[in-house]
Amino acid sequence: QVQVVESGGGAVQAGGSLRLSCQISGLVFTDYGVGWYRQAPGKKREAVSCFDWGVSGQPRYAGFVKGRFTISKDNAMRTLYLQMNNLTPEDTALYYCVAEYGVFGSTLCARPPPVSGKSYWGQGTQVTVSS
C-alpha cells in the first residue's frame, strides 16, 4: 500500500522559514518523479517544485519561488523536502506532496497528475504566513 505523508507545515510570520517533509512508502522511490504542489483557498492547485524520477535529476521551480525555496530528497529515506525561506502571506496554502511514475520534473510540474495507479498524492500540510 502506497502512503504519502507530509509534515512540517505551520504558522509563521512574513520573512520566516519552514521545512516541509514528505515520507513516501510502498513504492520504489527512485522510479517516481516527486514534487510539491500547493492550493490556496479559492485558487487552483499549482506546482511549486518537482524532481525528475531517478537517483538524482534536475529540480524544477515555479516562477514565484524566486530563489526562496529549495527542494531536496533523500532516496535512502524515501523522503522529499522543501525548504522555504522568506515566506510571504501569498505563500499561505495547503501544500501537497505528489509522486508520479517515470516522469521528469518538467512534466510533473506542468500539470497536476490525476490520482491513478501511477500517481499518488498526500493529504497536505497547511502553511500559514501572517503579515
Summarised one tens digit per residue, pLDDT across range 74-99 is 999 999 999 999 999 999 999 999 99
For residue 125, CA distances in Å to 91, 101, 119 come to 13, 22, 18
Backbone angles phi and psi of 107, in degrees to 5: -75, -45
State the average pLDDT over residues 109-126. Answer: 90
Confidence of residue 66 (pLDDT cuts 50, 70, 90): confident
For residue 42, CA distances in Å to 24, 45, 86 come to 28, 10, 23
pLDDT on residue 56: 81
pLDDT on residue 100: 95
State the average pLDDT over residues 66-81. Answer: 95
pLDDT on residue 116: 77
State the average pLDDT over residues 31-51. Answer: 96
Q: Are 129 and 16 in contact (CB under 8 A)?
A: yes
Q: How many residues does the chain have?
A: 131
